[in-house]
Structure 1
Amino acid sequence: MPAPRVLSALDVARIQLYHFKAIVIAGMSLFTDAYDLFCIAPVLKMLSQIYYKKDSVGTPLLSTFYAIALLGAALGQLFVGYLGDRLGRRRVYGICLMIMVLSSFGCGFSVCTTRRSCVMASLGFFRFFLGLGIGGDYPLSATIMSEFANKRSRGTFISAVFSMQGLGILMSSAVTMSVCSAFKKAGERSSEKTRAEESDIAWRLILMIGAIPAALTFYWRMRMPETARYTALVEKNAVQAEKDMQKVMSISEIDEDFREEPHTSTCSYKLFSRRFFSLHGLDLFAASANWFLVDVVFYTSNLLLSQIVSLSNKPSSTANVYDSAFEAAKVAAIVAACSTIPGYWFTVYFIDRIGRVKIQIMGFFFMAVVYLAAGIPYSWYWLHEKTNNKGFMILYGSIFFFSNFGPNTTTFIVPAELFPARFRSTCHGISGAFGKLGAIAGTVGFLWGTKRDEEHKDVFPDVKRVRIAFFILGGVCIAGMLVTYFFTRETMGRSLEENEEEDIDN
Structure 2
Amino acid sequence: MASNNISVLNALDNARTQWYHVTAIIIAGMGFFTDAYDLFCISTVSKLLGRLYYYNSSTGKPGKLPHSINNLVIGVALVGTFTGQLVFGYLGDKLGRKKVYGLTLILMIICAICSGLSFGYSPKAVMGTLCFFRFWLGFGIGGDYPLSATIMSEYANKKTRGAFIAAVFAMQGVGIIFAGLVSLIVSKIFLVYYAGPAFNDEHVFSTEPEADYVWRIVLMIGALPALLTFYWRMKMPETGRYTAIIEGNAKQAAADMGRVLDIEIQADGDKVAQFNAGNEYKLFSHEFVRRHGRHLIGTMTTWFLLDIAFYSQNLTQKDIFPTMGLTNKAENVSALREMFETSRAMFVIALLGTFPGYWFTVAFIEHIGRFYIQLVGFFMMSVFMLIMGLKYDYLRNEEHKWTFAALYGLTFFFANFGPNSTTFVLPAELFPTRVRSTCHAFSAASGKAGAMIGAFAIQNYTQDGNVKKIKKAMILLACTNLMGFFFTFLVTETKGRSLEEISGEDGGYAEAEMTAKKPVSQSDNWEENSRNYG
TM (norm. structure 2) is 0.87
**Shift in Å at residue 187 of structure 1?**
2.1
Tell whether the 8 Å contact from 2:153 to 2:428 is kept in structure 1 after alignment: yes
Task: Check the 8 A contact 1:38/1:169 in 2, yes or no.
Answer: yes
Secondary structure in structure 2 of the residue aligned to 1:373? helix
Asked if 1:284 is matched to 2:288, the reply is no
Paired with 1:174 and 1:448, the residues of 2 have a C-alpha distance of: 26
The CA distance in 2 between the partners of 1:332 and 1:375, in whole Å, is: 20
Residue identity over aligned pairs, in percent, reads: 46
Q: Is the 8 A contact 1:2 1:239 kept in 2?
A: no
Stretch of structure 1 that moved more, 163-172 or 144-153: 163-172
What are the equivalent positions in structure 2 for 1:29-178 lying under 5 Å apart? 29-53=31-55, 54-112=62-120, 115-178=122-185
Tell me how far apart the structure 1 counterparts of residues 316 and 196 of structure 2 sit (CA, whole Å). Answer: 36
Q: Deviations over 1:305-352 (max 9, x none)?
A: 322211213337662221111111111111111111110110001101
AA matched with 2:26 = V
Q: 1:451 to 1:308 in 2, by over 3 A?
A: closer
- Cα distance change, pair 466–191 in 1 and its aligned pair in 2 (3 A): closer
Residue 503 of structure 1 is aligned with which of 474, 487, 509? 509
What are the residue-to-residue correspondences of 1:97-496 with 2, within 5 Å?
Answer: 97-112=105-120, 115-188=122-195, 198-252=210-264, 266-311=278-323, 312=325, 313-315=327-329, 319-382=333-396, 384=397, 387-450=399-462, 452=464, 461-485=465-489, 487-496=490-499
Deviation at 1:94, TM superposition (A): 0.2
Q: Is the 8 A contact 2:319 2:462 kept in 1?
A: no
**CA deviation string 1:57-112 (max 9, x = no partner):** 11111112222111100000000000000000000000000000000011011122
Asked if structure 2 preserves the Cα contact closer than 8 Å seen for 1:3 and 1:264, the reply is: no
2:317 maps to amino acid:
L
Contact 1:151–1:494 under 8 Å retained in 2: yes
Q: Give the CA deviation at 1:470.
A: 1.4
Q: 1:309, 1:354 → 2: CA distance? A: 34
Could you list the runs of 4 or more consecutive aligned residues of structure 1 that deviate by over 6 angstroms after TM superposition?
Answer: none
Structure 2 distance, partners of 1:231, 1:378, is 55
Deviations 1:196-255 (A, max 9, x none): 55321221111111101100110000000000000010001111001111222134499x
* CA apart distance, 1:293: 0.5
Instruction: List per-residue Cα deviations over 1:417-455 (Å, max 9, x = no partner).
Output: 011111000110111001000001122121333354xxx
Aligned residue for 1:201, secondary structure, equals helix
1:217 aligns to what SS in structure 2?
A: helix
Counterparts in 2 of 1:227 and 1:316: CA distance versus 1, 3 Å: closer
> Contact 1:357 / 1:488 at 8 angstroms: preserved in 2?
yes
With 56-65 and 280-289 compared, the bigger mean Cα shift is at 56-65
Aligned partners of 1:198 and 1:463: how far apart in 2?
33
Q: Partner of 2:238: helix, strand, or coil? A: coil
Distance 1:318 1:381 in 2: 23
Which digits, 9 at most, give the CA deviation of each residue in 1:129-172, with x for residues without a partner?
00000011110000000000000000000000011111111112
Q: For the structure 1 residues 365 and 247, does the alpha-carbon distance in structure 2 shift closer, same or farther, using more than 3 Å as the test?
A: same
Given that 1:13 and 1:251 are in contact with CA atoms closer than 8 Å, whether structure 2 keeps it comes out as no
Where structure 1 has 5 or more consecutive residues not aligned to the other structure, the ranges are 255-262, 453-460
- The amino acid across from 1:336 in the alignment is A
- Contact 1:142-1:413 within 8 A present in 2 as well: yes
Alignment partner of 2:179: what SS? helix
Aligned AA (2:167): A
Report the residue type matching 1:32 in the other structure: T
Aligned residue for 1:322, secondary structure, equals helix
1:272–1:300 CA distance, 2 compared to 1 (3 A): same
Shift of 1:466: 1.6
What residue identity is the alignment partner of 1:421?
T
CA RMSD of aligned residues (A): 2.1
Match 2:6 to one of 4, 7, 11: 4
Q: Deviations over 1:372-430 (max 9, x none)?
A: 12221111122x55x33111110111000000000000000000001111100011011
Greater relative contact order (CA < 8 Å, ≥ 6 in sequence)? 1
CA distance in 2, matches of 1:445, 1:219: 39
Contact persistence 1:39–1:173 (CA under 8 A): yes
For structure 2, list consecutive stretches of 5 or more residues without a partner in the other structure.
56-61, 200-206, 267-273, 514-534
Closer, same or farther in 2 for the Cα pair 1:499/1:342, shift >3 Å? same
Contact map agreement 1:173 1:332 (CA 8 A) in 2: yes
- Larger deviation: 200-209 or 56-65? 56-65
Secondary structure of the structure 1 residue equivalent to 2:434? coil
63-72 or 159-168, larger mean C-alpha shift:
63-72
1:503 positional shift = 3.3
**Whole-Å separation in 2 of the counterparts to 1:449 and 1:341:** 27
User: Displacement, 1:264?
Assistant: 5.3
Range with greater deviation from structure 2 (314-323 or 88-97): 314-323
Q: Which moved more, 1:79-88 or 1:326-335?
A: 326-335
Q: Which residue of 2 is the match for residue 259 of structure 1?
A: none
Q: Is the 8 A contact 2:50 2:64 kept in 1?
A: yes
The SS at the match of 1:44 is helix
Write the letter of the residue equivalent to 1:328. T
| 1:303 shift after superposition | 3.5
Secondary structure at the counterpart of residue 210 of structure 2: helix
Q: Distance in 2 between matches of 1:154 and 1:444?
A: 35
